[in-house]
Chain A
Amino acid sequence: MKELRLMKGNEALAEAAIRAGADAYFGYPITPQSEVIEYLMRENPVDRTGMQVLQAESEVAAINMVYGAAGCGKRAITSSSSPGISLKMEGISYLAGAELPCVIVNVVRAGPGLGTIQPSQSDYFQAVKGGGHGDYKLIVLAPATVQESVDFVRLAFDLAFKYRNPVMILSDGIIGQMMEKVELFEQQPRIAEAEEWATVGKKPGKDSVIVTSLQLQSEEQEKVNLRLQAKYREVEKNEVRFETYQCEDAEYLFVAFGSCARITRKAMEMARNKGIRVGLMRPQTLYPFPAEELHRLAGQVRGILTVEMNAGQMVEDVRLAVNGVTGVGHFGRFGGMIPSPDEILNALEKQFIGG
């Protein structure tokens, strides 16, 4: 039975974690993400599904608890906001290195440093390009609605276990705090058979399983790197997700993700009312990036404007994908300021149409 509710993005995401059959949540409060842990504490899912919820003593502790749970083959999730995610980065690199599945939610606020608690997209680089050390990739999902905050939790667990890789959900203060109608999926069973790689105790006659990211022999470490790279190519081949709006006849193209894509869509509607034929591409996966489709679209438009709540991060991936086929510009507000649809339309006209 599907249920329709009006929920905050953060609360909907927390409910989705329970319903996705998560075994454990480990976290530490920080605005604008605290509703995730507050909802889980209130809901006390140990009574519903047996899922454990624990407020750790710090973000560093929380991510290492995720490592421990994931090492046992359990479905673990953690959430934080930008400064807290920076603290988790060492653990995230270890999770990627040990090829452990888990879900990490970043409800982004503006930085650098403690910054402000208002919404931002300034952690794109950190999420997509690394953040932690070493040559690794996270699968990064960017919800634009409360509904996607729910659906992507389930998808994130599926992808994490399919590829034995950490998956990040890159939300932000807008998506986390806003309320929308949401359809919740049915409760998924929690207890699953432990996977072969899980450290759940050596059985007689079986080899012992070791979960580690340490390889002191370079020859061995290179094999690990090659295996990771082969996995990332598979991810790039299979898991690209995006949406396009009114691109069929578009002369210009917006590219935007997450909450910014919602605002940009309004700018697109305003532009169309003025007779400017503009479309919108919204990557739902930031890694893997929808480079191929973007390259194809670039061939049919006179210019592309990337709109982000940062000083220009995704625009680098857009330029790589477009590869000079057409002009690529960037419009951004930052520091917790949210661009208005008027500003975005203005930027398009100024940069490309000659206003």
Chain B
Amino acid sequence: MTEEIIIAGFGGQGVLSMGQILCYGGVMQDKEVSWMPSYGPEMRGGTANCTAIISDTEISSPVLTRFDTAIVLNQPSMDKFEDAVKPGGLLIYEENGMTRKPRRTDINICSIAAYDESVKMNNTKVFNMIVIGGVLKVRPILELENVIRGLKKVLPERYHHLIPLNEEAIHRGMEIIKTQHQVD
């Protein structure tokens, strides 16, 4: 198994930490992992992305142009990465703030209203954990237990009391993700 993932959105949406949490989850599950962020002018300009690779075997390139799964959290990211999903792959998009639907018909497409759900939870900071929940539901590459163990590594200890809240956010994400298009 090798899962090549791109996660993209605005700075502040938790894009980089989502990738780190997935990679730490991978480490906990004895997988090979690689995390490569965008850095510099792109990030300072407000958009951020990272590549996360989780694999049973040694990872060659940490930098990719085609992905098994793209998680896009704003319109510029969908515009940039929709075409980068491999045929038969998966595109997950955040519903809030999108001005158009994906056009591809040869990939699986799911949507998630993670922002709205985070508002319902009275904590928009758990937005990215809701997205992670959605991802794990449609792409169960990691055990939930290992993702939580990964989260403990990413979060500084003083925030560890927030782990149950984050776990709940993951469960909410699993419940609310919707399939928009499915290929065989």
The answer to whether A179 and B60 touch (CB under 8 A), given A31-B40, A117-B39, is no
Contacts of A179 in B (CB 8 A): 20, 23, 33-36
B24 within 8 A of A: yes
Give the segment of A51-59, A92-100, A262-270, A283-291 that binds chain B.
A262-270
B20 nearest CB across to chain A (Å): 7
Give the segment of B61-69, B114-122, B131-139, B171-179 that binds chain A.
B61-69
Q: Which of B35, B41, B60 meets A262, CB within 8 Å?
A: B60
CA separation between A19 and B33, bound complex, in Å?
Answer: 24
Contacts of A338 in B (CB 8 A): 63
Contacts of A173 in B (CB 8 A): 39
Contacts of A265 in B (CB 8 A): 60-61
Interface size bracket, A side? 20 to 34
B68 nearest CB across to chain A (Å): 14
A117-135, CB under 8 A of B: which get 1 and which 0?
Answer: 1100000000000000000
Report yes or no: B153 in contact with A266, Cβ–Cβ below 8 A: no
The answer to whether A174 and B62 touch (CB under 8 A), given A6-B20, A6-B27, is yes
Report yes or no: B27 in contact with A263, Cβ–Cβ below 8 A: no
CA separation between A4 and B28, bound complex, in Å?
Answer: 10
Residue among A6, A269, A341 with the highest chain B CB neighbour number at 10 A: A6
Report yes or no: A174 in contact with B40, Cβ–Cβ below 8 A: no
Q: Which of A177-211 contact B (CB under 8 A)?
A: 177-181
The answer to whether A6 and B153 touch (CB under 8 A), given A117-B40, A178-B34, A181-B32, is yes
Report yes or no: A178 in contact with B62, Cβ–Cβ below 8 A: yes
Q: Which residue of B lies closest to A262 (CB)?
A: B61
A91 within 8 A of B: no
Q: Which residue of A lies closest to B42 (CB)?
A: A118
B37 within 8 A of A: yes
CA separation between A259 and B63, bound complex, in Å?
Answer: 9
B70 nearest CB across to chain A (Å): 16
Report yes or no: A342 in contact with B37, Cβ–Cβ below 8 A: no
A32 within 8 A of B: yes
Report yes or no: B41 in contact with A117, Cβ–Cβ below 8 A: yes
A229 within 8 A of B: no
A215 within 8 A of B: no
Report yes or no: A118 in contact with B34, Cβ–Cβ below 8 A: no
**Can you name 12 A-B pairs with beta carbons within 8 Å?**
A6-B23, A6-B27, A6-B33, A117-B40, A173-B39, A174-B36, A177-B36, A178-B36, A179-B20, A180-B33, A180-B62, A181-B33
Given contacts A178-B37, A263-B60, 17 further A-B contacts (CB under 8 A): A6-B24, A6-B33, A6-B35, A6-B153, A117-B39, A117-B41, A174-B36, A174-B63, A177-B36, A178-B36, A179-B23, A179-B34, A179-B35, A179-B36, A263-B63, A265-B60, A338-B63
Chain A residues packing against B (C-beta within 8 Å): 4, 6, 31-32, 116-118, 173-174, 177-181, 259, 262-263, 265-266, 268-269, 338, 340-342
